[in-house]
Amino acid sequence: MEYLLYSLTAYLLGSIPSGLIVGKVGYGTDIREHGSGNLGGTNTFRVLGVKAGLIVTIADILKGTLAAALPFFLGAEVIPLIIGIFAVIGHMYPVFAGFKGGKAVATSGGVILGVNPLVFLVLVLSFFILLYITKYVSLSSMVCGLVGIAASILLQEYGLTMVISVFTIFVIYRHRSNIKRIINKTEPKITWM
């Protein structure tokens, strides 16, 4: 029963559509109608600018962190990583936004932050190094999943390894169209780094 309650709470947390809220409230814009049509931070950066993009990315990270931290705060006998998975599912398929959400990167990172800040730091550093080299946000995000798997194995955090593997599958699946564009050399590159 506890797992059901916490999983549902985590799903609802993940379902909060940060990009939609920031876009509509702060800018009078539904970002689903612009750019890639995605509700995540990358599309928010692209459509609404740096300030909005940062707000959405941080909010999406915190959704995952809060979901994973709930069992710690409330002393529940549940595994935080499992609860965190439901926040990521909520972010990808949000009940509050017609089940069309983001690509799971920031919220997955947030879950990892809530459980192992060191691995989260490794992921953030890896992301920006990869982004500097490739100029592709999507590719950097996907490769970071593999870095997270390697880092968690090195730290002998095997439960975390399994969950990061699940997150990596989510992220790669959600980036199917980006992969095609990278292969076709039509994926947009960042210009600010």
Per residue in 50-97, pLDDT (tens digit) is 999 999 999 999 999 999 999 888 878 899 999 999 999 999 999 999
Token pair of 104 as six digits? 């799971």
User: Quick one: how many helices (H) and strands (E) in the chain?
Assistant: 11, 0
Q: How confident is the model at residue 4 (pLDDT cuts 50, 70, 90)?
A: very high
pLDDT score of 191: 84
- What's the average model confidence in pLDDT over 32-39? 90
Token pair of 84 as six digits? 């965190």
pTM of the model: 0.94
pLDDT score of 72: 86
Amino acid letter for position 154: L
Side-chain-side CA neighbours of residue 17 (13 Å): 22
Contacting residues for 92 by C-beta, under 8 A, at least 6 apart: 14, 101, 102, 103, 104, 170, 174
Residue 193 has pLDDT above 80, yes or no: no
Q: Supply the DSSP symbol for 115.
A: H
pLDDT score of 84: 96
In angstroms, the first-to-last Cα distance of the chain is 48
Lowest mean pLDDT among 15-24, 67-76, 138-147: 67-76
Backbone angles phi, psi at 5, to 5 degrees: -65, -50
Sequence ranges of the domains in the chain: 2-183
pLDDT score of 36: 86
Backbone angles phi, psi at 164, to 5 degrees: -65, -35
pLDDT score of 2: 87
Q: How confident is the model at residue 1 (pLDDT cuts 50, 70, 90)?
A: confident
